[in-house]
Amino acid sequence: MNELILSITIEPLEEGGYLATSDDLQGLIAQGRTIAETVEIAQDVARKLIESYVEHGDPLPPGIRQAVRQSQRRTKTKIAVGLSFDPVAA
C-alpha cells in the first residue's frame, strides 16, 4: 500500500464536532464528533476521491501530485496526543 501526506484543515463546529477540508484535494469534506474521528473519515474520503480520479482516468490535482512526490522522501509531521491529566500541573 502506498501512502502520501495530505494537508487538511480541521476546525471546530459551533454545534459540536469538527469539520475537515483540504486545499490540496477539492471535494474533501469530513465531519466527526472528535478530531480523531474526523481525521479517520477524512482519510477515507481522500482515498475514495483519489481512487475515483484514477478509475476515471482524470489527472490528479496539483496538490496530490506534489504530495505523491513528497511521500517518496522522509517526512516530519506533528500529531495531536490526547492526555488524561493536566500536563502543566505535572
**Residues 46-67: pLDDT tens digits?**
999 999 998 999 998 887 877 7
Mean pLDDT of the chain: 86
Q: Where are the domains of the chain?
A: 9-71
CA separation for the pair 2, 48 (Å, rounded): 14
The amino acid at 57:
G
Instruction: Return the CATH number of the domain spanning residue range 9-71.
Output: 3.30.160.250
Report the half-sphere exposure of 10 (CA within 13 A, side-chain side).
21
Asked if pLDDT for residue 34 goes beyond 80, the answer is: yes
* pLDDT for 77: 65
C-alpha cell at 44: 477515507
* pLDDT for 27: 92
Which distant-in-sequence residues (6+ apart) come within 8 Å of 60 by Cβ?
50, 53, 54, 68
Given a contact cutoff of 8 angstroms between Cβ atoms, the answer to whether 23 and 7 are in contact is: yes
Please give the model's pTM, rounded to 2 decimal places: 0.73
* pLDDT for 73: 65
Which distant-in-sequence residues (6+ apart) come within 8 Å of 36 by Cβ?
82
